[in-house]
Amino acid sequence: DTEVTQTPKHLVMGMTNKKSLKCEQHMGHRAMYWYKQKAKKPPELMFVYSYEKLSINESVPSRFSPECPNSSLLNLHLHALQPEDSALYLCASSLQLAGARDTQYFGPGTRLTVL
Amino acid sequence: AQKITQTQPGMFVQEKEAVTLDCTYDTSDQSYGLFWYKQPSSGEMIFLIYQGSYDEQNATEGRYSLNFQKARKSANLVISASQLGDSAMYFCAMSVKLTFGKGITLSVRP
Q: Tens of pLDDT along chain A (115 residues)?
A: 569 999 999 999 999 999 999 999 999 999 999 999 999 999 999 999 999 999 999 999 999 999 999 999 999 999 999 999 999 999 999 998 867 788 999 999 999 999 9
pLDDT at B92 over 80: yes
Question: What whole-number distance in Å separates Cα of residue A68 and Cα of residue A49?
Answer: 7
Single-letter residue type at A56: I
Say which residue, A44 or B96, is predicted with more confidence: A44
Q: What are the residue ranges of helices labelled H in A27-97?
A: none
**Which chain B residue is nearest to residue A101, measuring alpha carbons?**
B33
**Which chain B residue is nearest to residue A92, measuring alpha carbons?**
B45
Q: Backbone dihedral region of A51: left (phi > 0), alpha (psi from -120 to 50 degrees) or beta?
A: left
Across the interface, of A42, A99, A100, the residue whose CB is closest to B100 is A42
Question: What whole-number distance in Å separates Cα of residue A91 and Cα of residue A75?
Answer: 9
